[in-house]
Chains A and B, each alone.
Chain A
Amino acid sequence: MIAIAGPNLPHQLLHAAGRHGGALPLTPDRDCPRAGQWLESKFQPWAPRVLEHWLDGDYDHFDAVMFSRADDSSQRLYYYLCEMQRAGQVGGPEPLVFDVAKIPRQSSLVHVAEKLRALADQLSVDESALEAAIRQGNAASDTSAPVGTGPTCLVTGSPMPDARLLEAVEQGGFVPVGQTLEQSWLATAPVEEGTGDPVAALARALHEQDSGPRSFAEPSGRLRRQIAESAARAVIVWHIEEDEVRTWQLPSLRAVLQQSGLPHLVLSRRDWLAGDGAAIEIAAFLEGVSA
């Protein structure tokens, strides 16, 4: 089985091969005493957790782990793991990288299609199997849809390690809408069906998918869409210290929030594990909104 660790990956192709191993499991709160010897401070916090699990042999049951070139921590961890395996410092599954290209230009789209065709050959996936997997994927429900009734609160920004911030929203009397790291890795974009060339269709979907650090989608437009789709009555923007992408988007996101007139809370440069009192701040914010 092939586990995945990164955004914008070809899930449908892995499913078609019967080899999708799900998102690489990790324990956010675990200590990482050895990973710090290899990974520098600006890696996303999930990366040292993954390396620590890897060193412990927790992933040995996977044949391979697929990383993504559309996320810097993901692609760098791929190179680091390859080197550590070459030097005999770690065993475990084979690291792979999917070379997804996101620049809105024909040459990048062609590149994605070429990489998909190579992967399909490698996994012995034919067009009919891929088409079937695409149909199944399109039919699957959106994991970020609100669950429950009541006013919704959109939590957006850096992918959350787990549901801890969403639970804080729930305790504040709102239905949370937001994405965990695992959900962000497993997120798929709708793929056009029945084109006769499912590889090309999947390439277009991956190339245009508007989530992930390398997306060229305009961030303020994306936030407006998220607000509309979730019918949010309140918005929390949460960016972690290590987030090198969304930090650049903060001024434009603030402008969208101001224009929306919605109550909002911006939490910038925060602790990934929310050990900095984020849940308390969310509770206080939502209490004010409710009042």
Chain B
Amino acid sequence: MSASANQRSRKALACTQRATAFQREFGKELRRRVVEDREPYAIVQADTPHELFHAMDIPIITNQWWSAYISAKQLSTRYFDAMVAKGYPANSCKYCSLGLACTLADEPETAPWGGLPKPTVMVARLTCDCIQQVFGQWSQALGSEFFPMEAPAWTDKDPQWFANSRSEWERVYQPDRIQHMVREMADLIALLENRTGRTFDEAKFHHLMEQINVQEGYIWEAAQAIGDARPCPVSIAEQMPNTMIPQWHRGSDWAVAHAKEFRDEVMGLIASGHGASSNEKLRLMWIGAGVWHDPGFYQALEETLGAVFVWSMYMPFAGPAYIRDLKDKPMEALASRIASMNETLHLPPWMNSWMVSEAQRCGIDAAVVLLPPDNRLSQSGTKATTASLRAAGVPVLMIDADMVDAKVWDHDRMVGMVDSFLREEGLA
């Protein structure tokens, strides 16, 4: 890891601090419920139906959030090394396996929360070949039960999915895929009711789905405004936490209120002409997961080159991925959301079509694509997207780096690569 890694990012919004403070408190509360009170809880992938757990008030630890938590404590290298020492090859996929590595390392003295207790269930959607291995072994190591979910083939491909996802979701996401996921969710609910003694309240779930529409509507409204605004009022370093933290708590009163506060603050900054950079000259797009161990990376070239990362997938994804006209079919609407999250971000034609559309909407000058060397899922679709963006006139830099493994990330070198790329393209 570079000595310059883990640079802090600058914050312009008051709500960013409120979001991170809420998440800190939530982390403590989650720890209390899971570790001290030993409530039934679940470890789940990000692209699984969290809404079911929220509706049943069952605490969840999202694998990606837990990975980021471990990574932020600078422990990723230690645990990945421990996994290699246990006989796993060093090139195993990093993004989804840090939690497993932490469990296998079995170091209560270093592990966050002293390590995780046995969850009631672990849930993952099988979007790649290795996730069933990771969750299967992790659940064995924790003495838990693995509930895998299928990622059915998607043969009805609408490149304009993002324009039709809200109202035509039955067609866009393919009826048989939706139906299959509804069947799986019914099985999952039955399992949760059986294991926890809690009941699934359909009315509460319906209300939650309505609230999520409201919440994501605020985020989407702010995303539209940021795309139109010159200069960009908020860097992606602030877009991400204000989108993602409420999304971990989607549909809750706090999440809806926070999304509204965020929208209002963004609108206020736009009205006052505030820019994330004082001399915005270039608008950049970040394609890939967040580099959680070095958030300052995104703002490193704002003042020197006026290069502002105005776009990452998290915030604009709120609209097409989350908002659904419920049509009195909330479970089907949820299935359409879950059955497509990963595919639309990692497979053509959905990924490339959406990102070209977003680049045009946001006036993007250049894009930077993360290409993690040991993660097929995160790599997936990046070259097709690069080709589509270039065909649309957007220069693209692809960088080989891992968003979790700090060992292969060097802040200065990465910033230097972007700097050189922009100069070589004649943009800076």
Q: Which residues of A contact B (CB under 8 A)?
A: 37-43, 69, 71-72, 75-76, 78-80, 82-83, 86, 97-99, 101, 103, 105, 107-108, 110-111, 114, 213-214, 216, 239, 241, 244-245, 247-251, 254, 268-269
Is A111 within 8 A of B180, CB to CB? yes
- Which A residues are CB-close (under 8 A) to B148? 103
Is A244 within 8 A of B383, CB to CB? no
Is A72 within 8 A of B128, CB to CB? yes
Query: Residue of A at shortest CB range from B150?
Result: A101
Q: How far is the CA of A213 from the CA of B46 in the complex (A)?
A: 22
Is B129 within 8 A of A214, CB to CB? yes
Q: A40-B379, A103-B148, A244-B93 are in contact. Are A71 and B88 (CB under 8 A)?
A: no
Q: How far is the CA of A98 from the CA of B152 in the complex (A)?
A: 10
B87 interface hit (Cβ, 8 Å)? yes
Q: Which residues of B contact A (CB under 8 A)?
A: 86-89, 91-93, 126, 128-130, 132-134, 137, 148-150, 152-153, 155, 157, 159, 176, 180, 183-184, 187, 347-349, 352, 371, 373-376, 379-380, 382-384, 387
- Which A residues are CB-close (under 8 A) to B86? 251
Q: How far is the CA of A72 from the CA of B153 in the complex (A)?
A: 11
Q: How far is the CA of A89 from the CA of B128 in the complex (A)?
A: 26
- How many residue-residue contacts, CB under 8 A, span A and B? 108
Is A248 within 8 A of B88, CB to CB? yes
Q: How far is the CA of A174 from the CA of B94 in the complex (A)?
A: 38
Is B88 within 8 A of A251, CB to CB? yes
Q: How far is the CA of A249 from the CA of B133 in the complex (A)?
A: 8
Most interface-central of A75, A83, A103 (chain B CB within 10 A): A83
| A244 in complex: contacting residue of B128, B137, B176, CB < 8 Å | B128
Query: Residue of B at shortest CB range from A254?
Result: B87
- Which A residues are CB-close (under 8 A) to B134? 248
Q: How far is the CA of A188 from the CA of B88 in the complex (A)?
A: 30
Q: How far is the CA of A38 from the CA of B384 in the complex (A)?
A: 6
Q: Nearest chain A CB to B92's CB is how many angstroms away?
A: 5
Is A39 within 8 A of B132, CB to CB? no
Query: Residue of B at shortest CB range from A81?
Result: B348
Q: Nearest chain A CB to B345's CB is how many angstroms away?
A: 13
- Which A residues are CB-close (under 8 A) to B352? 83
Q: Nearest chain B CB to A206's CB is how many angstroms away?
A: 14
Query: Can you give 11 A-B contacts (C-beta < 8 A)?
Result: A37-B387, A40-B380, A41-B373, A42-B374, A86-B349, A99-B153, A103-B148, A214-B132, A244-B129, A248-B92, A248-B134
Is B89 within 8 A of A268, CB to CB? yes
Most interface-central of B92, B126, B184, B348 (chain A CB within 10 A): B348
Q: How far is the CA of A248 from the CA of B159 in the complex (A)?
A: 35
Q: How far is the CA of A70 from the CA of B86 in the complex (A)?
A: 28
Q: How far is the CA of A72 from the CA of B92 in the complex (A)?
A: 15
Is A80 within 8 A of B348, CB to CB? yes
